Amino acid sequence: MSVSNSELIYFDNNGTTKLCNEAIKEVTKWLSNYGNPSTDCKLANKSKEMINCGKNYILKHCGVNSNNYSVIFTSGATESNCFILRSMSSAYQKINKQKPHIIISAIEHPSIMACCKSLYDNKCIDLTYILPQSDGSIDPMDVKDAIKKNTCLISIMFANNETGTINNIEEIGKIAKQRKIPFHSDTVQIFGKMRLNIPKYNLDAISVSFHKFYSPLGIGLLIINNNLVNEYQLEGIINGTQQGGLRGGTESVPNIAGAIKGMNVNFINRPIKNKKLKELKLKCIEELEKYWPIIYYEDFDNKQIKNKFDDVLVIIGSKTNCLPNTLLLSFVSFKSKICNTQLKKTLESKYNIIVAVGSACSTKSKLASHVLTNMNASDEIKRGVIRISFGDYNKLKEVTKFVKCYVSAINEQI
């Protein structure tokens, strides 16, 4: 099947999303305002006011206010994640004169994995990785059991960017509160899909990236509990006087304006939009099932399946607790060797369809996904995996077309 010159079908919305028109207009408007919020003049005051209003809007949206929490704008969630890990561990060491211990899951985003590895390799922290269960979720009891006397931070992602599995953050938050341990969550994949009430989850800090929900690239934030900042006298990782000394560097005013507008627009009719995302995902599964049997990884038994089928589609991620838009799919063939990067290339070059393999941020990497590795996935599963992540601009007819092209691309390989 050839569909050259067709319109692009973009199914990598967990990687990044198309900017909404309202955000483009807002960024464009603010590009011509050169008022630096760190200075004091009419132009600067306009920028300052916009940033302050934006911070208050975000805090209110999360069920907190500026008396108890602060918003720190960053270059993205990568920086926010590194900020909390590095500043908490160095403050703990300074105050307690003891090496701090950090608990993370083994399926965190590469920014958390790499930052913790660097801190550990430099002997700055003790580190515990919590392995996921077969549905890709973290068992809160494993987190509880990992707590030590010197645990200075628990950092567990809300929803995984590859599998889409949503963790039981409420339960982990209760445990952290009981044991009086600061609790951070990388909320990048969930923030744009639900109103995140910070007190409900006992969260002390969250990382957010705006380009995951129709807002500009290169802008993110860390929302942090003021008690944590004061008690630990936290220092930022980029020095300077801006943003209360916690994040140096002149604020990216147009990006902040566009981010707030994009967030605003994204949350209009969000439950209806989420329902539509779920419909796209269910339609995709329904169409694929016409060609091959589908089995969830949590029910997957390699030996049994091998005796029954030559080829099978495996969905990796929780059946019940998953992002509405995410489908991590592996074509498992016991007869032929499937190559997911080749599959991705064919879909893109021949059919104009964009999907991801593994983590969007590591698509260029030859290394297999650490998420699948830590879920104990077999080589067959790793070889055939692609991630489909739908967005608000996708349509049902794109799903039907994708399935036809996917079947052709697979048939080219087997």
Stretch that binds ligand PLP, among 128-136, 146-154, 185-193, 247-255 (CB under 6 A): 185-193
Nearer to ligand PLP by Cβ, of 325 and 346: the residue is: 325
Stretch that binds ligand PLP, among 71-79, 277-285, 317-325, 347-355 (CB under 6 A): 71-79
Sheet holding 126-130, edge to edge: 69-74, 220-225, 205-209, 183-186, 151-155, 101-105, 126-130
Nearer to ligand PLP by Cβ, of 188 and 338: the residue is: 188
Residue that is written with structure tokens 């999360």 in the block: 62
Sheet holding 311-316, edge to edge: 294-296, 311-316, 326-333, 385-389
The whole-angstrom separation of Cα 117 and Cα 113 is 6
Q: How far is CA 16 from the centre of its chain?
A: 10
For residue 245, give the amino acid letter: G
Nearer to ligand PLP by Cβ, of 107 and 403: the residue is: 107
The whole-angstrom separation of Cα 112 and Cα 85 is 8
76 binds ligand PLP (CB under 6 A): yes
Does the CA dihedral 48-50-53-59 come out positive or negative? Answer: negative
Q: Cβ(195)–Cβ(174) under 8 Å?
A: no
Q: Is beta strand 9-10 parallel, antiparallel or unpaired with respect to 353-354?
A: parallel
322 binds ligand PLP (CB under 6 A): no
Q: How far is the CB of 403 from ligand PLP (least distance, A)?
A: 25
17 binds ligand PLP (CB under 6 A): no
Nearer to ligand PLP by Cβ, of 47 and 161: the residue is: 161
Q: How far is the CB of 62 from ligand PLP (least distance, A)?
A: 17
The whole-angstrom separation of Cα 158 and Cα 107 is 11
Q: Cβ(27)–Cβ(257) under 8 Å?
A: yes
Q: How far is the CB of 132 from ligand PLP (least distance, A)?
A: 14
The whole-angstrom separation of Cα 237 and Cα 79 is 9
Nearer to ligand PLP by Cβ, of 157 and 246: the residue is: 157
209 binds ligand PLP (CB under 6 A): yes
Q: How far is the CB of 136 from ligand PLP (least distance, A)?
A: 13
Q: How far is the CB of 294 from ligand PLP (least distance, A)?
A: 25
Nearer to ligand PLP by Cβ, of 316 and 410: the residue is: 316
DSSP, residue by residue, 46-110: HHHHHHHHHHHHHHHHTT--TTTEEEEEESSHHHHHHHHHHHHHHHHHHHHSS--EEEEETT--H
Instruction: Tell me the residue nearest to ligand PLP as measured from the CB.
Output: 76
161 binds ligand PLP (CB under 6 A): yes
Q: How far is the CB of 313 from ligand PLP (least distance, A)?
A: 24
Task: Give residues 355-374 in contact with ligand PLP (rule: CB under 6 A).
Answer: 360-361
Q: How far is the CB of 167 from ligand PLP (least distance, A)?
A: 12
Show the tokens assigned to 3. Answer: 């569909």
2 burial level (CB within 10 Å; 0-12, 13-18, 19+): exposed
Exactly one of 51, 77, 315, 399 binds ligand PLP (CB under 6 A); that residue is: 77
β-bridge mates for residue 313, sequence order: 294, 331
Nearer to ligand PLP by Cβ, of 332 and 375: the residue is: 375
Q: How far is the CB of 161 from ligand PLP (least distance, A)?
A: 3
Q: How far is the CB of 112 from ligand PLP (least distance, A)?
A: 7
Nearer to ligand PLP by Cβ, of 77 and 368: the residue is: 77
| DSSP single-letter state for residue 317 | S
Nearer to ligand PLP by Cβ, of 206 and 409: the residue is: 206
Nearer to ligand PLP by Cβ, of 71 and 312: the residue is: 71
Per-residue interface string for the shown chain with ligand PLP, residues 109-128, x marking contact by CB under 6 A: x-x-----------------
Which residues are at the interface with ligand PLP (CB under 6 A)?
76-78, 109, 111, 157, 161, 186, 188-189, 209, 220, 360-361
